[in-house]
Chain A
Amino acid sequence: MMHDPSPTPSRYTVEDRAPRKLSSFLLRWESILVMMLATVIIGNTLKSPYFLDPFNLADATYNFSEKAIMALIMALLILVREIDLSVAAILAVSSLAIGFMGDAGYGTLALVLTGLFVGTLCGAFNGFLVTRSGVPSIVITIGTMSLYRGITQVSLGDQALSTFPQSYLDLGQTYFIDWPPVPLSFFIFLVLACVFGVFLHKTAIGRQLFAIGANPVAARFSGIRVDRIRFALFTVSGLLAGLGAVLLTARIGVMRPNIGLGWELDIITMVILGGVAISGGVGTIGGVVLAVFVLGLSTFGLALMNVPGIVINVLLGLLLIISIAAPILIRMATGKR
């Protein structure tokens, strides 16, 4: 065997980081979302003098805050290649429990704790099934969605529960901060968004989520407790659905079996528009928060213009597909892969 005394240069070289280009910054998903948000705000302000009224805006947040809270954890689930289609059904079961407790005459604190507890329990059951059975979470949560929604239908039939103490209803029907007017649900969303942002982007476990999303098997071999994290995420998803139930039930003051029907799709739309890749491993909390505002404010603006709700759905569906397709088309056109 020949031996070469001279040190051979490494086959690999570490190059300097490529200079940051303005175009790559502008094509970042979050930048696109900021532009979309600006367009929505400017367009709505020009169209309607009522749009920028602080009280109107505060009331507009009611319509998306509960969904937005649930979107935060959905973002993490999709990031690790899971999905929870049962969130809206968990919300319904939690709301059912709150309704029964209200009927039995319990106080506000008991109602809130019941909602959170039942949600957590349902979420933990999802997590248990997903981690134990090895069946894809989309299938498991379609099953539990039917199961949970079925429980509310069996318990209530066509009845409704509407006995709640006034102090509980105040949680959803008054402003948490009087000026500027901020409802409790929106306040909680803002706080949780910060918590989730720091957790995902600044902690070790947050980085592990990206690792799992990029390659779950490699993550397991690197010593990341994949199943434990999955279980925890599904449990938190249940907890936040319970929180959504607490806020929503207080806001509308009545519990019917069809409460929050179809919300799972709205929530997933928020997450996907927020730039979280359905194939896992890519996404930011900032993007999701921006998407929440884009969707929430455009819905509010269109409603101010008397556009019917179902037509708004068409526009939001188009927005979802176009916003995902446009960057791909641009990349195809410019020949970058």
Chain B
Amino acid sequence: MSVFLKYREWVLAAIISLMVTGISLYAPAFGTLDNATGVLNDTAFLFMMSLAQMVVILTRGIDLSVAANLALTGMLTGIFNEVFPDLPALVYVAVALTLGCGLGLINGTLIALLRIPPIVVTLGTLAIFRGMIVVIGGGSQVNTSDMSASFVGFPKLSFLSLSSVFWIAAIVALLAWFFLSLTRAGRGLYAVGGNPVAARYCGISLPFQQVLAYAISGAVAGMSGYLWVARYGVAYVEIASGYELTVIAACVIGGVSIGGGVGTVAGTLLGALFVGVIVNALPVMQVSPFWQMLISGAVILAAVIINARAEGRGLKLILPEARRAAAQAKR
């Protein structure tokens, strides 16, 4: 039982490998190296975005505005590219990071300084960011023909047949691991989420940690915005619509607790991979893509309920007698 508790990630990894094996037996095309790299390239955005979302959820927050931020920053970077074409691609990455971080700071400031609940703020900014795309872009699209070669080319670069988007996601994952396990600010995110009062007594500043979390979330969303627009070759109002829920779903499947303070980089990556495998397996198995939503819904429910059981807080026993009885029953 303690294996389940401590190494939930191993269980998830085992389930994913079982799934991949099963799908490959059914449809051999799925088990090829070619397809594996395809799945990883496809899921790269989800890897980055769910890690960023985890950082926010750790502080007991939630960022519903990530997909809208992605779309808005993507549009702005596209327009920036029209004005300043043929700059090195890393300039566009930097611009997108800065813009996205700025949008995240708006969320962070409202949440940390005015103490408005995160779900309220990000619900509002979700609508605002999405709408600003139309206000700024005048309802028009930015198409591939409007984009310069360096802008479009960057996400198509590949190394070991994995795209640059995947390698960026890998760097983000390494940075996230380093930041969350080895830096003071990273540990502080767990502290304020685990017990805000105790964290306060330890001298950890909740407003600072919150602003930091939403800035990170915004920066990653913004960078993904540029990569998304450049990779798919179009920026318009609807891109990544509803993606925020997929991102949160990946976190939840990966064992991030919505109550804050619990979550690991490895778990979140596996959660995202799980979603990615399902999304990519359906067409291979010739199942209608309309099944995707139903399956991910069922998986989310199964994952959270199994997680809750494994953590032993399935039923909240608040009366001492009941708790004692349950403890005896367990023994």
Does B associate with A? yes
* Chain A interface (Cβ < 8 Å from any Cβ of B): 129, 132-136, 138-140, 142-151, 153-154, 157, 217, 220-221, 257, 262, 265, 268-269, 272, 278-279, 308, 310-318, 320-321, 324-325, 328-329
In the complex the two chains form, is B114's CB within 8 Å of A329's CB? Answer: yes
Q: Assess whether B142 is interfacial by the CB under 8 Å rule.
A: no
B300: nearest residue on chain A (CB-CB)? A143
Contact B294 A146 (CB under 8 A): yes
CB distance from B205 to the nearest CB of A (A): 18
B114's partner among A154, A157, A325 (CB-CB below 8 A) is A325
Proximity bits, B112-131, A CB within 8 Å = 1, else 0: 00111101110111111011
Given contacts A314-B127, A328-B116, contact A146 B134 (CB under 8 A): no
A140 touches B293 (CB 8 A): no
Residue of A nearest to B246 (CB): A146
A124 to chain B, nearest CB (A): 15
- Contact in complex: B318, A221 (CB < 8 Å): yes
Q: Is the CB of A265 within 8 A of B294?
A: no
B110 contacts the other chain (Cβ, under 8 Å)?
Answer: yes
Contact present for A317 and B297 (CB under 8 Å):
no
Q: What would be 26 A-B contacts, judged by CB atoms less than 8 Å apart?
A: A132-B314, A133-B304, A133-B308, A134-B316, A135-B308, A140-B304, A142-B252, A143-B249, A143-B304, A146-B245, A147-B293, A147-B297, A147-B298, A150-B291, A150-B292, A150-B296, A150-B297, A153-B291, A265-B64, A278-B120, A308-B139, A310-B131, A317-B126, A321-B120, A321-B125, A321-B128
Q: State the Cβ distance, B326 to closest chain A Cβ, in Å.
A: 13
State the B residues within 8 Å of A (CB). 62, 64, 110, 114-117, 119-121, 123-128, 130-135, 139, 237, 242, 245, 248-249, 252, 258-259, 288, 290-298, 300-301, 304-305, 307-308, 313-316, 318
Q: Which A-B residue pairs are the 4 nearest by beta carbons?
A: A150-B294, A146-B297, A147-B297, A314-B131
Q: Are B305 and A135 in contact (CB under 8 A)?
A: yes
Quick one: which of A133, A136, A144, A317 contacts B127, CB cutoff 8 A?
A317
Indicate if the CB atoms of B135 and A314 lie closer than 8 Å.
yes
Q: How far is the CB of A72 from chain B (nearest CB, A)?
A: 19
Q: Which residues does chain B contribute within 8 Å of A129, judged by CB atoms?
A: 301, 305
Which residues of B sit under 8 angstroms from A153, Cβ to Cβ?
A: 290-291, 293-294
Contact B119 A133 (CB under 8 A): no
**Are the CB atoms of B130 and A146 closer together than 8 Å?**
no
B196 to chain A, nearest CB (A): 13
| A136-B258, A143-B301 known; A157-B124 Cβ under 8 A | no
A151 proximity list for chain B (CB < 8 A): 294
Q: A140 and B123: CB pair below 8 A?
A: no
Question: Are A139 and B258 closer than 8 Å at their CB atoms?
Answer: yes
Cβ contacts under 8 Å, B252 to chain A:
139, 142-143
A-B contact count (CB 8 A): 151
- Whether A313 contacts B131 by the Cβ 8 Å rule is yes
Other contacts beyond A136-B258, A145-B245, A321-B116: 20, CB < 8 A? A133-B314, A135-B304, A136-B259, A143-B297, A144-B297, A146-B249, A147-B293, A147-B298, A147-B301, A150-B295, A150-B298, A265-B126, A272-B123, A278-B119, A312-B131, A313-B127, A314-B127, A316-B127, A321-B121, A328-B115
Q: Which residues of A contact B290 (CB under 8 A)?
A: 150, 153-154, 157, 257
Q: B-side binding surface: helix, strand, loop or mixed?
A: helix
| Shortest Cβ gap from A90 to chain B (Å) | 13
What residues on B are CB-neighbors of A154 within 8 Å?
Answer: 288, 290-291, 294
| A269 partner, pick from B121, B123, B249, B307, beta carbons under 8 A | B123
User: Of the candidates A133, A150, A221, which one forms a contact with B293 in the assembled complex, judged by CB atoms under 8 Å apart?
Assistant: A150
Are A142 and B288 in contact, CB atoms less than 8 angstroms apart?
no
When distances are taken between beta carbons in the complex, the residues of chain B under 8 Å from A262 are 242
Shortest Cβ gap from B262 to chain A (Å):
12
In Å, the complex CA distance between A298 and B83 comes to 37
> B residues within 8 A CB of A145?
245, 297
Most buried by A among B116, B252, B301: B301
Contacts of B313 in A (CB 8 A): 134
Least Cβ–Cβ distance between A272 and chain B, in angstroms: 5
- Tell which of B126, B130, B252 has the most Cβ of chain A within 10 Å: B252
CB atoms of A314 and B301 under 8 A apart = no
- The answer to whether B318 touches A272, judged by C-beta atoms less than 8 angstroms apart, is no
Chain B residue contacts of A142, Cβ below 8 A: 245, 248-249, 252, 300
The winner among A129, A142, A220, A308 for most chain B CB atoms within 10 A is A142
Which of A136, A149, A278, A314 has its CB near the most chain B CB atoms (within 10 A)? A314
B237 touches A328 (CB 8 A): no
Report the minimal beta-carbon distance from B127 to chain A, rounded to whole angstroms.
Answer: 3
Q: Hey, which chain B residues are within 8 Å of A139, CB to CB?
A: 252, 258, 300, 304
A327 to chain B, nearest CB (A): 10
A138 nearest CB neighbor, chain B only:
B258
- Report yes or no: A140 in contact with B301, Cβ–Cβ below 8 A: yes
The contact of B125 among A136, A278, A317, by CB within 8 Å, is A317
B304–A268 CB distance below 8 A: no
Q: In the complex the two chains form, is B300's CB within 8 Å of A220's CB? A: no
Bound state CA distance, A11 and B64, in angstroms?
49
Q: How far is the CA of A279 from the CA of B132 in the complex (A)?
A: 29
Which residues of B lie under 8 Å from residue A140 when comparing CB positions? 301, 304
| Chain A residue nearest in CB terms to B139 | A308
